Amino acid sequence: MSELEKLSPETRRELEHQLKIISRGTVDMLPAGEFETRLAESIEQNKPLRVKQGFDPTSPDIHLGHSVGIRKLKQFQDLGHQIVLIVGDYTGMVGDPSGQSATRPQLTYDDIMKNAETYQQQFFKILDKSKTEVRFNGDWFRKMSFLEIMQLAQKYTVARLLERDDFTKRMRRGVPISIHELFYPLMQGYDSVAIKSDVELGATEQTFNLLAARTIQEAYGVRPQLVLTMPILVGLDGEQKMSKSLGNYIGVDEPAREIFGKVMSIPDNLIYSYYELATDIDENELAEIESKLKQPEVNPMEIKKQLAERLVDMYHEKGAGKRARNEFERVFSKKQLPDEIPEADIRTIKQWNIDPDKIYLVHLIAKSGLSKSNGEARKLISAGAVTINGGKITDPDFEFKLSTETILKVGKRRFLKLLPG
């Protein structure tokens, strides 16, 4: 008789309940069979599992791609397990080589910590802060002597590290691999040693690192963790994974209007995966949506609007989704203006060091925050994505005088009202 067959009826029911929730939307639960055994042990002994996920704050904001794992952590949390978030202030300076075709540019420690501030706020749009343990891996790495670093390096072989698909591809193409990149899986594995994790979550591209951590834990006399991998959420472009650096992301801290508009821009073939991975929809409703999307007479636009409304409500106050939808329909379907448009008068324009009698459009767009840089502003103008009072501007050298109230529109969702008084 197996260990699982020996379980009491109560434990078996609870195990089935938890497995159903935990397994939804996952790719792998490794090692096969061991996950069930460890979870049953946790239930029987009333000893919560320590469930870990690491985040390197290499950019300022958390986006829906990050939320896939964080929402799975919330499910563990709601089932009574202990969530441990690792903020990678040290691993962030190395940069995870997973899925990378070249060495990542290194960030300074100050940049990492500035980004970490926003991460710590945004984690708790999803997780219960009072029940979450947050650790910085600099807490242990900055204390390690060179001897201890060498001892860590002894726990894993170069041959094993070079089995990674991304490293193999780079070697074949003659793309350099820096020594510090080889340390990343060791550092992530040592995080699991330091906090004695029972389970670690990560995207499928993280599988090598997650499994390597088991070897490193064992080498340090720590019981090897279980591994749970999640699908990668495809970004707004419909091709590559959601990424801030690629600009194809939806930030959880963005304004309701921006979240709604971005969701409406995703390809129709991503609607189902966004419902499944990025929302709290129940199984019955998800199955209903899947069925509707297969019916040729159903317009996916309506289902996408419902998705956008749901996502806005998840990260803003109740009712914000409906208001964002109404504004979207007014602006884009009925070609009207939003209810609220940021304003800038002559005094504000002068503070931007712009002459109201000779406004250089590129500088106005960049200095008002409607683009990230002058270069991006020029590209937007050249692409026909900028209008003034409804008239399209395509000359990147365009200049004008502010004499009457003027509405500037950049892209699909960014507006600025210029006031002459």
Q: What pLDDT sits at residue 96? A: 65
- Degrees to nearest 5, angle at CA 77 with 73 and 79: 120
Predicted pLDDT of residue 334: 60
Which residue numbers in the chain have pLDDT < 70? 1-3, 95-106, 332-337, 339, 421
Give Cα separations from 187 to 60, 89, 143, 232 (angstroms). Answer: 22, 12, 13, 23
Residue 223 pLDDT: 97
pLDDT at 401: 83
Contact 185, 208 (CB under 8 A): yes
What is the structure's pLDDT at 83? 97
Name the residue among 249, 265, 287 with its Cα closest to residue 412.
265
Q: What are the residue ranges of helices labelled H in 247-360? A: 256-264, 271-278, 283-293, 300-315, 320-328, 346-351
| Distances 136 to 133, 208, 219 between C-alpha atoms, Å | 10, 22, 22
* Confidence at residue 221, expressed as pLDDT on a 0 to 100 scale: 96
pLDDT (0 to 100) of residue 333: 62
Query: Could you give phi then psi for residue 310, rounded to 5 degrees?
Result: -65, -45
Residue 418, beta-bridge partner list: 344, 406
For residue range 22-51, list pLDDT tens digits in order: 998 899 999 988 999 999 999 999 999 999
On whether the CB atoms of residues 361 and 402 are closer than 8 A, the answer is: no
> Which pLDDT value is given to residue 97?
62
Q: Are strands 359-360 and 50-55 parallel, antiparallel or unpaired?
A: unpaired
pLDDT at 178: 82
Q: Could you give all domains of the chain from N- to C-terminal order, each with its CATH number? A: 4-230 (3.40.50.620), 256-333 (1.10.240.10), 343-419 (3.10.290.10)
65 and 72 in contact (C-beta within 8 Å)?
no
Amino acid at 71: R
